[in-house]
Homo-oligomer: A and B are copies of this chain.
């Protein structure tokens, strides 16, 4: 078989992302990760160090990708919420991984996330100063609600989501954010 360390590492990272998203850290199996990547598990230890660091790498990559795919827009928060919803429906791995992280890693502050939050808070503040965003809610309040509302359907008992169309679910999110800003 052709040898390509970089390609192998990518396949391992992708397999790990799926495995951790599905099973969490404690429930994931490094043998399964290696099997899904089509290589030996000794490579996991060679490239990543240990299971924990493999998880960190998978998580960091998912978060980085997420921020890239769903850029914030303080100028149109309902549209941003809609895109966030779209991303969560298309990529359940993102929300699942961050949920596992919060449960298994404890409530430690994530530097990468904090940095992004700081920037967003400043943008929201500026948008309110510019009159582009209603000032009923503080920027912190808005940011917290903007994160929770697009994830609402993914965190409810499934029969509520299953009984509705994608468009209905999306409209719920977008309209809720519009209402908050009315």
Contacts and interface: CB of A to CB of B under 8 A. Distances in A.
Interface of A: 23-27, 96, 99-100, 102-104, 107-110, 113-114, 117, 136-138, 140-141, 143-145, 147-149, 151-153, 155-164, 168, 172, 175-176, 179-180, 182
A109 B152 contact: no
B24 A108 contact: no
Contacts of A175: 136-137, 141
A140 B163 contact: yes
A156 to B, nearest CB: 5
Main SS of chain A's interface residues?
helix
Number of copies: 2
A31 to B, nearest CB: 15
Contacts of A117: 157, 159-160
Given A26-B23, A157-B114, A145 B176 contact: yes
B137 A148 contact: no
Nearest to A181: B179
A103 B28 CA distance: 12
20 contacts: A99-B99, A100-B103, A103-B103, A109-B159, A110-B157, A114-B159, A117-B160, A136-B175, A137-B172, A138-B168, A141-B168, A141-B176, A143-B160, A144-B172, A145-B176, A147-B156, A149-B152, A151-B155, A179-B179, A179-B182
A143 B159 CA distance: 12
Residue in A137, A148, A168 with the greatest tally of chain B CB atoms within 10 Å: A148
Contacts of A107: 158
B141 A172 contact: yes
